[in-house]
Amino acid sequence: MEKESFILDRLLPVGTVVVALVALWYVAAVFLNAPFERDTAARNGTTITFAELLPKTMAQQRPVLPAPHQVIAELWDTTVNKAVTSKRSLVYHAWVTLSATLLGFAMGTVLGILLAIGIVHNRAMDRSLMPWVIASQTIPILAIAPMIIVVLNAVGLSGLMPKALISTYLSFFPVVVGMVKGLRSPEQIQLDLMHTYNASSAQTFWKLRWPSSMPYLFTSLKVAIAISLVGAIVGELPTGAVAGLGARLLAGSYYGQTVQIWAALFMAAAVAALLVIVVGIAHSAVLRRMGARA
């Protein structure tokens, strides 16, 4: 019964959407890649039928939109057929980006939690700092990333740290917002009960506010770790990096290798999904440790 419910409620709807998207992708690939084949036939003084056109649009070296099987073949070639230490391996490039992502995520999480604690416990910080935290995210990261890279290079910081700081800049915001909401989630009656126990501010924080904020924290962390990956990729673009998923995207755009670009995009999506799953597993483990029911 549970297996049937899983198939009907989850597997079937998701599978239907995936099949529809793949079918739409193939149709779009035919229409977008067809003009090149028609132009080639016209230059050769020949005509091309739809039956001849269709397979050609699926096998172009530099298509406008690569077909799904081309992207899958590129992913297989650059992950399975290449050594992980090779600079042509997507696993190698993913690790370079992942290292900056995790460092930036860790720094952003710590910064966000500390800011949230200050905002909740200090009214002046709440009124003065919170608006600036929100305003900081109105600046496009593509605009400030080159400035951050240039300034840090001028003071001798290059390599991993500039990319991690860009990830920090993006990832701290959801943590701040989520933790402020979480630390303020206890009801007034619960706070009054702590007062009747003559609990100090530290005791109220560790025994009431902090446990109450856990669901909010991990929900924010899922957003933060995904956006941290985006920050690391963006940080690789203005540096002319030779390694990382951002560098792979940049090289593909330079040489018109759209299949390479799409493979790197799918690899980035897979890494982001894996990171979110890891945070979700940690969330479940923490809730079980705190006594939550399965």
Q: How many CB atoms lie within 10 A of CB 140?
A: 9
DSSP letter at 238?
T
Mean of the per-residue pLDDT values of the chain: 84
Phi, psi dihedral angles at 199 (to 5 degrees): -75, 140
pTM, rounded to two decimals: 0.83
Judge whether residue 176 has pLDDT over 90: yes
pLDDT band at 292 (very low <50, low <70, confident <90, very high): low
Name the band, by pLDDT with cuts 50, 70 and 90, for residue 7. low
Amino acid occupying residue 202: A
Lowest mean pLDDT among 2-6, 74-78, 154-158: 2-6
Cα–chain center distance at 39: 39
Mean pLDDT value of segment 140-151: 77
pLDDT bin (cut points 50, 70, 90) of residue 8 is low
Does 223 have pLDDT greater than 80? yes
Residue 6 pLDDT greater than 70, yes or no = no
Cβ atoms of 237 and 246 closer than 8 Å: yes
CA distances to 61, 232, 244 from 268, rounded to whole Å, are: 22, 11, 10
Please report where in the chains the tokens 């500039």 appear, as a residue: 162
* Alpha carbon distance 90, 77 (integer Å): 9
pLDDT at 143 over 80: no
Residue 293 has pLDDT above 70, yes or no: no
How far apart are the C-alpha atoms of 197 and 210, rounded to whole Å?
18
Say how far apart CA 225 and CA 154 lie, in whole Å: 28
90-289 folds as: MetI-like fold (1.10.3720)
Query: Average pLDDT of 189-206?
Result: 84
Query: Does residue 208 carry a pLDDT above 90?
Result: no
Cβ atoms of residues 279 and 285 within 8 Å: no
Give 42-88 pLDDT, tens digit per residue. Answer: 888 777 777 878 888 888 888 888 888 888 988 888 888 888 888 88
Domain edges within the chain: 6-60, 90-289
- Residue partners of 120: CB distance under 8 A and separation at least 6: 126, 180, 183, 184, 209
DSSP category for residue 114: H
pLDDT band for position 4 (50/70/90)? low
Residue 1 pLDDT greater than 60, yes or no: no
Distances in Å between the Cα of 213 and the Cα atoms of 123, 147, 178, 183, 201 are: 19, 35, 8, 5, 16
What angle do the packed helices 160-183 and 90-121 form, to 10 degrees?
40
| 3-class secondary-structure state, position 214 | helix
Give 277's Cβ-side CA count (13 Å radius).
Answer: 6
Amino acid at 165: L
Residues 133 and 176 sit within 8 Å (Cβ to Cβ): yes
